[in-house]
């Protein structure tokens, strides 16, 4: 499937959905000046192409995950297979290949410290190519947003 063109209408649809992911097609149609059917088609193309997702953002603490951490990972050799292996771990919700002091940044959620220890020691550090890790425990999430707009 070809990627949809990010014209001004698609950008306004995306920006509105970043503000309220539950906005109706009627609301979106009024914002962009198109019919509901046209907006439905545009949203469908944006979703199908992977340009955007509409998901429920949850609070891990309220779902029984008492520990959230970011792990900096240093890798020997090719970074990509390590990133792929980490991406396959259910508790990991974020994997980024990056430049700087770490090759990868990985965010994970755990039920408790014992769960975190098992993930770090038995799972993450046992992946071939992982040279070292450093764990940053979240004390409080001060800001999390997904409404950065479009360009």
Q: Provide DSSP, 37-78.
A: HHHHHHHHHHHHTTS--------GGGGT--EEEEEEEEESS-
- 3-state SS string over 91-138? CEEEEEECCCCCCEEEEEEECCHHHHHHHHHHHHCCCCCEEEEEEEEC
pLDDT at residue 4, rounded to an integer: 66
Greatest extent of the chain over all pairs of C-alpha atoms, in Å: 55
pLDDT at residue 33, rounded to an integer: 96
pLDDT category at 1 given cuts 50, 70, 90 is low
pLDDT at residue 125, rounded to an integer: 97
**DSSP code for 32:** H
Q: Is the pLDDT of residue 2 over 80?
A: no
Q: What is the pLDDT of residues 76-106, one digit of tens each?
A: 999 999 999 999 999 999 999 999 999 999 9
C-alpha distances (whole Å) from 23 to each of 9, 74, 99 are 15, 42, 37
Count of CA atoms in the C-beta half-sphere (13 A) of 135: 16
Q: Is the pLDDT of residue 51 over 80?
A: yes
Token couple for 125: 């550090």
pLDDT category at 59 given cuts 50, 70, 90 is confident
Token couple for 9: 């209408």
């Amino acid at each position: 499937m070809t990627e949809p063109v990010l014209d001004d209408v698609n950008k306004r649809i995306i920006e509105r959905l970043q503000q309220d992911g539950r906005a109706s097609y009627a609301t979106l149609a009024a914002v962009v000046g198109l019919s509901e059917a046209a907006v439905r088609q545009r949203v469908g193309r944006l979703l199908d192409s992977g340009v955007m997702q509409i998901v429920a953002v949850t609070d891990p603490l309220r779902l029984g995950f008492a520990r959230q951490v970011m792990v900096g990972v240093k890798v020997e050799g090719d970074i990509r297979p390590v990133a792929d292996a980490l991406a396959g771990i259910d508790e990991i919700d974020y994997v980024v290949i990056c430049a700087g002091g770490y090759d990868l940044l990985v965010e994970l959620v755990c039920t408790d410290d014992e769960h975190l220890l098992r993930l770090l020691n038995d799972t993450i550090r046992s992946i071939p190519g992982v040279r070292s890790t450093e764990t940053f425990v979240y004390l409080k999430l001060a800001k999390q947003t997904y409404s950065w707009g479009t360009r």
